[in-house]
Each structure stands twice: as C-alpha cells, then as structure tokens.
Amino acid sequence: MIIDCHGHYTTEPAGLGVFRDRQLAGLVDATRRPTTTNLGITDDEIRQSLEGAQLKLQRERGTDVTIFSPRASGMAHHVGTAQTSAEWTRICNDLIHRVCTLYPRNFVGVCQLPQSPGVEPRRCGEELERCVTELGFIGCNLNPDPSGGYWRDPPLSDRWWYPLYEKMVDLDVPAMIHVSSSCNPCFHATGAHYINADTSAFMQFLTSDLFRDFPTLKFIIPHGGGAVPYHWGRYRGLAQDMKRPPLSEHLLNNVFFDTCVYHLPGIELLTKVIPIDNILFASEMVGAVRGVDPQTGHNYDDTARYLHQVAALSDQDRCKIFEGNARKVYGRLNSYLERRERLSPVESTA
C-alpha cells in the first residue's frame, strides 16, 4: 500500500476563491462581506477539480491514499483578524471533508488550524477537535509562523503552544509543521519560507526539552526536513556541543520527515542519513513544482520513482516509508484504513 502523507487541495473549485475575495473585501468594506458561508460548490465541481489532477496522479503513480489538507499557502493566517482566520479555516476544512466523503478510498483529511498572529494557540483546540471527532480527520497542519515571514510568535518549544499540544496528544493526532504564504519580500514562499520553516522548527526542537514534556507528541517536518538531512553532521555536532542527547534519542521518537525532495540525489541522502523509521512517503502533489524534469522525463514531484531507484533500500524499508511509518505516526490512520477496507471498490471512483 502507498500512503502519501502530504497532499493539498490546490485545485479547489472557483467558488472558494470567490468567497475568500469577498471575505477579505468585507474587512475594508462591510457591505461586501459574504452573506453566506455556502460556497455554492457542487459535488460535480469537486469531482472535476480532482479527476484530472490528484486522482489522475494517484492512479498513474499507484498511490492508494493521500492524507489531504487545504492549500497551505491559502491558510494565510497573517491576513485579517482571528475571526477571519476562524471562519476561513472552518470553510476550508469543511471542503476537505466533502472531498474525503466523495472519495473515501482516496483521501483522508488533515485540517488547517484557525491560527492568527499573537493569538494563543489554545484557541485552535476547538476546531481541531471538531475536525477529528466530527469529520474524521487524522492530523493538522501547524503553522510555526502565523505572521507570514516575520516570525513574531514564540518558538514551537515555548509553553505558548502547550495547550494545543495537549489537545493533539488527547486526540492522538500529529501535526505537520507547515507555514503558509509569505508577506515578507525576502522570502519566496515555496522556495525559501517553506524550507526555512522546516529547518527552524527542527532547531527549535533540538534546543528544547519539548519531548520530555510530551513524550507521545509527533511532528512531521515536510519538504524532506528542510535543510536538516543535508546538514545532519552539523545538527549532530551542534547537539553534541550543547550536551544534548544524541538526536536519535532526543528527537527521533517524535520528529519525522517526509520525502518531498524532488531529485534522486536528495532522496538518496535522506534515506542514507535519516533512520528509515523516521521517513514518510509524500509528494506534495499537486504542489510547489509542477513541471517535468528534462533530466529524467518525469515529473519532479514523482517522488515514489526516486524511492524505487535507491538501490540501498530493502523491500522492508520501502514498506515502512510507503505505509508502515504513516500508520505509526498518524494514530488514527489504522482505523480509517480498516473502514476503507470495508468500502466497495465502486465507492473508490465516487
């Protein structure tokens, strides 16, 4: 089985963008505020938005299930107020729920959180609980920088975040660390801000004792862990200089990396330096890079191909990366997969 732990709904029907424009217009001109949260999006529009994109790619690449969340750059927690974020988040999560309901064999949900700069993360607990207990979601995307590139909230190791972590532990769901768009002109979103956030989060964990306080808390650092595996010697050395335990003890029961690294040498390095038990298959499709690599003739983001090309991986290693590790990290995935087993194949094509 192939489980892709990192997919975003980047092909949303136009109705979502129309609502968002009205919502933000309403912040500066109340007469333009949308009068309903009904997006007017039909099931057929949702089907169309996925059939030629995520579902087509799932079929072509042999992916069984994608752990699916709202467009990351769309979260834009830095825009508007906490109320803006709360309303927008609920709408985006409900749309993911519709996707998962239409295609229960193909998608399982992960939610966006109603974060807002300077607003306590504890206020995200209610929406997380709704998504997990009512909508059947199995995780959340946690934005370590709701300011959108100015990094004004406390680091992830700060007690500021603890009430949200308590809720995650209670609900048995992990978070993928994922920033949104950047409003800082120094940071290109997918080329710099995303990768920097991954690296920064890892270092925030490294310099803290967060996982002594939360031994079962789990994070996935996407985009292959930012710069971390490439600089694994630096991180091992920094931990050592700081008299921290070896990274394997200090962080690797709680921190996992996805495989969104878009060339074979990167995947080779990732699978060489990071323990296999800490790597989860992901492609981020349809995502940051959409083209075909002229060097291979295949899509950059067809990361399963690279994993199949790494000679050093055993079949057992690949099983862990494609399936087993996701089952361990997402505590609620197994029961979803059991329900999925009982679905008729007809339902798989909605």
For position 146 contacting its own copies by CB under 8 A, the verdict is: no
Interface with its own copies, residue 261, by CB under 8 A? yes
Binding of residue 227 to its own copies (CB under 8 A): yes
Q: Contact with its own copies (CB under 8 A): which of 9, 103, 235, 322?
A: 235
State yes or no: residue 145 binds its own copies (CB under 8 A).
Answer: yes
Give the x/- contact pattern for its own copies in 43-82, rule: CB under 8 A: ----------------------------------------
With H, G, I as helix, E, B as strand and everything else as coil, classify residue 268: helix
Q: Is 12 a catalytic residue?
A: no
Asked if 45 contacts 15 with a C-beta cutoff of 8 angstroms, the reply is yes
**Which one of residues 229, 258, 281, 304 is an interface residue with its own copies (CB under 8 A)?**
229
Q: 238-257 mask for its own copies (x: CB under 8 A)?
A: x-xx----------------
Of residues 126, 284, 341, 347, which has the active-site annotation?
284
Give pairs for 182-189: CB < 8 Å, separation 24+: 182/148, 182/149, 183/78, 183/148, 183/149, 183/150, 184/148, 184/149, 184/150, 186/149, 187/149, 189/73
Residue 269: CB minimum distance to its own copies, A? 5
Measured over all CA atoms, what is the biggest interatomic distance in the chain, rounded to whole angstroms?
Answer: 61
Write out the binding residues for its own copies, residues 172-201 only, by CB under 8 A.
Answer: 184-188, 190-192, 195-196, 199-200
**What single letter denotes the amino acid at residue 99?**
V
Question: For residues 300-339, which are near its own copies according to CB under 8 A?
Answer: 300-301
Q: Does 234 bind its own copies (CB under 8 A)?
A: yes
CA dist 221 and 259 (Å) reads 10
List the structure tokens of 153. Answer: 């909230």
Task: Give the strand pairing for 292-293 and 298-299.
Answer: antiparallel
Q: Where are the alpha helices (DSSP H) in the chain?
A: 14-28, 43-51, 54-61, 72-75, 82-102, 125-129, 162-171, 194-206, 210-213, 232-241, 247-250, 264-273, 303-309, 315-319, 325-329, 333-341, 345-348
Q: How many residues bind its own copies (CB under 8 A)?
A: 57
Beta bridge partners of 141: 112, 176
Q: Which residues bind its own copies (CB under 8 A)?
A: 144-145, 149-151, 153-155, 158, 184-188, 190-192, 195-196, 199-200, 203-204, 206-207, 223-224, 226-227, 229-238, 240-241, 261-263, 265-266, 268-269, 272-273, 288-291, 293, 300-301
For the annotated catalytic residues, the residue numbers are: 284
